[in-house]
């Protein structure tokens, strides 16, 4: 045992920055998704709404789930802390009050359940071995296990969340003990071995702060399933105790519909820690049997070995505990791990079995104990790597405190976004080139949002991809190779667009898809699950593919020519097809007058600042590609197109202060927060100082106009940048023009930082992040959109990962100084 001073380690200490609340914290403002648009907008969208209702009914009759549920939208629970688990192997949410909540283990569903039986329990005995205190270590209100008590005082307990770790401090000084639970998940930048593991470590530091010895037990209980009664009751469950290497614990085997899974609870052995196990209790009972065992003995009853261990159909809970005696003024650690081994995925329609990437190292069968041992052996290294990753940001005196929390805590979606990281089978690998990153690093996919069930929605990933490119560039390239292949895919099945009722092919060849498919169908095969528009006509998908290629090719500092060679044909094909949308031959594409880009119910007509700017940036990217690959004819073609398009863009859209929204007659002078999107992307790709598409002075002027209108005139500058602002007020022409898009605000802030408007950039993002974190309770549940009052839309969304573009801008700015 060690004294408190002897046990100090900077890499594991509670950080100064992060999400910090007491365990009795309640948020002051409870928002919802019940926004009601104006009658004018309702009338405009009525045909879409009626078609959607019919589509919804048909899907329900077929017992299928729609990819976007606008009928029963989730209301934010406002309870979340740092989730547990690595990338792509499923995650389990944790609430800041200590609960286990929001399960994303089955890839086709996000289950918003809080499970009462999943608990940590503390038992404290005095030196005479009399129990003086026993309590669940969560203040979240339970509805079952009535004999279990939560007696801790939330106002004396503190939570700190800094993804992918958290710390919970329990002041039990009244009973002579102070506890700290340190939660660690293996999310480590540039690591492709540990970062995909389905596990979390819990290190319990127990300090004796009284004059007498204390005997302290930490117990950990868990039940089968995810808290969804229908599937949990149908499970085939069983359990067994184990001793393996330097660990002891219990494995809970169970099924979740077609998927087999095991939960493993383990304690690391130590001469100072006595371990006990519980193989079976009813999670729907009052829990008195288990509770009384711990209260009386400070441990579970000894297991009576049986000759066989029959399967139990239905719900089953298990537990492990570690007990230690601590002298006055000393400290002891109890190390625990939770592993969920769900090695394979079977998507409902495909019936094809995919294996998660961790199976390449740990095998497709019975990997749990190997992961338990590996986690205990390596978690200190994980923590050191995480500490070093975050240290540069946390120690930077020029960065604001709120941002140090925001950057890492917004990163939660990388693992908690319904993410899958899959291994390719040998047959698939044989079809790929040797240098294709999918052979070595597998296939990566994540949802557009917890409520928008489409993998790798490309118009949104365009913003979010900076998080991957900066921290796991091989996963980003793997995703890009998938998209490259999808460009040439055709799915001739006819689908009806919900927006206008017109049938179209599900996927036309030589087009960039909207998404990699619905995990409720057959993703990666049935791509383009998005049902509202014919996305082959979208103006932003092709240039976004080209711009991500540019960024990914240059992210290492030198141009990856082999990557460019692999991508060039797809880039060239989609750009030439996109050129068909240049109706007047000036090199600049025009919008159709229907929603044909990521703002999918906000109409642009003619040349537009958003799509036109992205198009200019993509043309510039093509000149870079063709020059690097010595394609001289193509280089000349794209240079000429770029020159012509830049001239047309300026002539049609520049109004002396900023770029007009579009060329319509009704709202062309709207100040759009996202009007410099193409310039932003070139800045993130290292071409900021060239100003290859927009003049420097016009970029700065536009940023000032956006800041003065969309930021400062909206909620006093405390809610980010509203998408549209016109003639001194919010542009209410469409639902999306009235929204603040969290990911767009971060991208705008990054552009400001890159352009030297550093104070304005951080202020733009600060108000929005603080409102979500301190007022609305939306941390670790960041929505796509916020409104000025009362409402948000689409919780748990991909786009806010664009916050990493702020860090890229900051690093580039510092390097240039």
486-508, pLDDT tens digit by residue? 999 999 999 999 999 999 999 99
622-675, pLDDT tens digit by residue? 999 999 999 999 999 999 999 999 999 999 999 999 999 999 988 999 999 999
Distance CA(536)–CA(504), nearest Å, equals 9
- Share of residues in the chain with pLDDT > 70 (%): 98
Q: What token pair was written down for 168?
A: 């919970």
Number of H-type helices and E-type strands within the chain: 20, 33
- Residue 161 phi/psi, 5° resolution? -115, 125
CA distances from residue 224 to 117, 227, 315 in whole angstroms, order as listed = 10, 8, 6
Lowest mean pLDDT among 310-324, 434-448, 527-541: 310-324
pLDDT value at residue 8: 64
pLDDT value at residue 310: 66
Distance CA(589)–CA(591), nearest Å, equals 7
Nearest to 545 by CA among 621, 603, 634: 621
Q: With the CA atoms of 726, 731, 736 and 741 taken in that order, what torsion angle do they form, in degrees rounded to the nearest 10?
A: 50
pLDDT at 350 over 90: no
Over range 279-306, report the average pLDDT: 92
pLDDT value at residue 5: 45
CA distances from residue 235 to 141, 259, 316, 720 in whole angstroms, order as listed = 26, 10, 9, 46
108-117, pLDDT tens digit by residue? 889 999 999 9
pLDDT value at residue 523: 97
Distance CA(496)–CA(270), nearest Å, equals 63
Distance CA(418)–CA(483), nearest Å, equals 19
What are residue 2's DSSP bridge partners? 331
768-779, pLDDT tens digit by residue? 999 999 999 999
5-45, pLDDT tens digit by residue? 445 689 999 999 999 999 999 999 999 999 999 999 999 99
What are residue 346's DSSP bridge partners? 353
Distance CA(498)–CA(549), nearest Å, equals 31
- Residue 613 phi/psi, 5° resolution? -65, -40
pLDDT at 447 over 70: yes
Confidence grade of residue 1 (pLDDT, cut at 50, 70, 90): very low
Task: Give yes or no for a contact between 358 and 371, defined as CB atoms under 8 angstroms apart.
Answer: yes
pTM over 0.95: yes
Q: Which part of the chain has CATH 2.70.98?
A: 2-28+76-379
Nearest to 756 by CA among 660, 689, 658: 689
193-246, pLDDT tens digit by residue? 999 999 999 999 999 999 999 999 999 999 999 999 988 998 899 999 999 999
550-590, pLDDT tens digit by residue? 999 998 888 999 999 999 999 999 999 999 999 999 999 99
The end-to-end CA distance of the chain, in Å, is: 49
A 10 A CB-CB count for 576 gives 13
pLDDT value at residue 307: 42
Q: 72: helix, coil or strand?
A: coil
pLDDT at 304 over 80: no
A 10 A CB-CB count for 667 gives 21
Q: Count Cα neighbours of 368 within 13 Å in the Cβ-side half-sphere.
A: 25
- 271: exposed, middle or buried (C-beta count within 10 Å: 0-12, 13-18, 19+)? exposed
Residue with token string 């899958």: 420
Q: What token pair was written down for 98?
A: 């200590």
pLDDT at 528 over 60: yes
Radius of gyration (Cα) for the chain, nearest Å? 27
Residue with token string 């949104």: 460
pLDDT at 689 over 90: no
Residues 6+ apart with CB under 8 A from 267: 220, 247, 248, 249, 273, 275, 320, 321, 322, 334, 335, 336
Nearest to 792 by CA among 19, 33, 14: 33
- CATH match for 2-28+76-379 among 3.30.460, 1.10.3470, 2.70.98, 3.40.1000: 2.70.98
For residues 755-777, one letter each, b for 16 or more C-beta atoms within 10 angstroms of the residue's C-beta and e for the rest, the string is bebbebbbbbbbbbbbbbbeebb
Over range 320-337, report the average pLDDT: 98
Residues 6+ apart with CB under 8 A from 209: 173, 176, 177, 178, 329
pLDDT value at residue 348: 86
What are residue 107's DSSP bridge partners? none
């Amino acid at each position: 045992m060690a004294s408190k001073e002897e046990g100090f380690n900077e890499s594991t200490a509670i950080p100064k920055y992060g999400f910090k609340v007491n365990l009795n914290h309640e948020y002051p403002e409870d928002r919802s998704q019940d926004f009601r648009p104006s009658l004018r907008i309702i009338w405009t969208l009525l045909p879409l709404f009626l078609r959607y209702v019919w589509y919804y009914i048909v899907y329900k009759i077929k017992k299928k789930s729609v990819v976007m549920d606008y009928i029963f939208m989730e209301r934010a629970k406002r309870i979340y802390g740092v989730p547990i688990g690595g990338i792509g192997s499923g995650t389990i949410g944790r609430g800041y009050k200590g609960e286990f909540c929001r399960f994303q283990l089955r890839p086709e569903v996000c289950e918003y359940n809080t499970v009462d039986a999943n608990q940590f329990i503390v038992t404290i005995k005095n030196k005479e071995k009399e129990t003086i205190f026993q309590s669940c270590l969560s203040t979240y209100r339970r509805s079952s296990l009535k004999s279990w008590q939560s007696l801790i005082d939330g106002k004396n307990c503190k939570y700190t969340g800094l993804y992918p770790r958290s710390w919970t401090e329990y002041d039990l000084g009244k009973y002579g003990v102070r506890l700290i639970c340190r939660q660690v998940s293996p999310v480590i930048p540039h690591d492709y071995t540990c970062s995909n593991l389905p596990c979390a470590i819990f290190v319990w530091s127990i300090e004796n702060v009284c004059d007498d010895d204390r005997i302290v037990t930490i117990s950990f209980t868990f039940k089968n399933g995810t808290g969804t009664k229908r599937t949990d009751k149908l499970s085939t469950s069983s359990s067994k105790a184990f001793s393996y290497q330097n660990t002891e614990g219990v494995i809970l085997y169970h099924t979740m519909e077609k998927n087999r899974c095991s939960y493993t609870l383990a304690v690391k052995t130590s001469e100072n820690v006595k371990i006990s196990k519980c193989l079976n209790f009813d999670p729907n009972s009052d829990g008195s049997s288990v509770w009384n065992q711990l209260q009386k003995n400070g441990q579970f009853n000894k297991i009576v070995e049986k000759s066989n261990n029959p399967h139990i159909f239905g719900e089953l809970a298990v537990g492990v505990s570690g007990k230690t005696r601590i002298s006055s003024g000393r400290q002891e650690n109890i190390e625990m791990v939770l592993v969920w081994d769900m090695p394979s995925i079977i998507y409902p329609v495909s019936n094809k079995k995919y294996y998660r990437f961790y199976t390449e190292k740990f095998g497709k069968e019975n990997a749990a104990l190997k992961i338990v041992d590996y986690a205990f052996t390596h978690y200190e290294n994980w923590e050191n790597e995480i500490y070093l990753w975050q240290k540069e940001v946390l120690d930077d005196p020029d960065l604001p405190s709120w941002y140090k929390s925001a950057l890492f805590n917004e990163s939660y979606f990388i693992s908690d976004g319904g993410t899958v990281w899959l291994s390719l089978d040998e047959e698939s690998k044989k079809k790929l080139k040797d240098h294709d990153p999918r052979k070595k690093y597998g296939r990566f996919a994540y949802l557009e949002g917890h409520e928008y069930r489409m993998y790798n929605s490309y118009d949104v990933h365009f913003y979010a991809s900076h998080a991957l490119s900066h921290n796991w560039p091989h996963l980003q390239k793997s995703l890009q190779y998938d998209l490259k292949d999808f460009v040439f895919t055709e799915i001739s099945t006819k689908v009806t667009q919900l927006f206008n009722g017109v049938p179209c092919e599900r996927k036309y060849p030589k087009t960039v898809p909207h998404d990699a498919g619905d995990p409720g169908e057959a993703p990666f095969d049935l791509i383009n699950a998005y049902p509202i528009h014919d996305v082959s006509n979208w103006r932003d998908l092709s240039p976004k593919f080209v711009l991500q290629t540019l960024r990914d090719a240059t992210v290492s500092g030198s141009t990856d020519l082999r990557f460019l060679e692999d991508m060039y044909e797809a880039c060239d094909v989609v750009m030439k097809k996109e050129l068909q949308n240049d109706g007047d031959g000036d090199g600049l594409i025009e919008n159709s007058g229907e929603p044909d880009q990521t703002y999918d119910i906000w109409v642009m007509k003619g040349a537009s600042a958003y799509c036109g700017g992205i198009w200019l940036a993509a043309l510039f990217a093509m000149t870079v590609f063709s020059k690097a690959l010595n394609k001289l004819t193509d280089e000349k073609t794209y240079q000429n197109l770029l020159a012509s398009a830049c001239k047309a863009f300026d002539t049609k859209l520049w109004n002396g202060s900023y770029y007009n929204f579009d060329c319509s007659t009704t709202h062309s002078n709207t100040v759009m927060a996202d009007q410099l999107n193409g310039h932003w992307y070139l800045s993130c790709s290292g071409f900021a100082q060239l100003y290859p598409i927009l003049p420097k002075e016009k970029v700065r002027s536009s940023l000032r106009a956006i800041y003065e209108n969309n930021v400062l005139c909206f909620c006093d500058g405390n809610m980010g940048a509203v998408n549209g602002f016109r003639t001194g007020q919010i542009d209410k022409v469409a639902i999306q023009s009235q929204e603040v898009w969290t990911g767009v605000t971060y991208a705008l802030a990054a552009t400001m930082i890159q352009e030297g408007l550093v104070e304005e950039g951080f202020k733009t993002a600060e108000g929005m992040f603080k409102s979500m974190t301190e007022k609305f309770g939306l941390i670790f549940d960041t929505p796509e959109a916020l409104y000025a009052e009362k409402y948000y839309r689409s919780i748990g969304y991909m786009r806010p990962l664009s916050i990493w573009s702020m860090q890229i801008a900051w690093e580039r700015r510092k390097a240039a100084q």
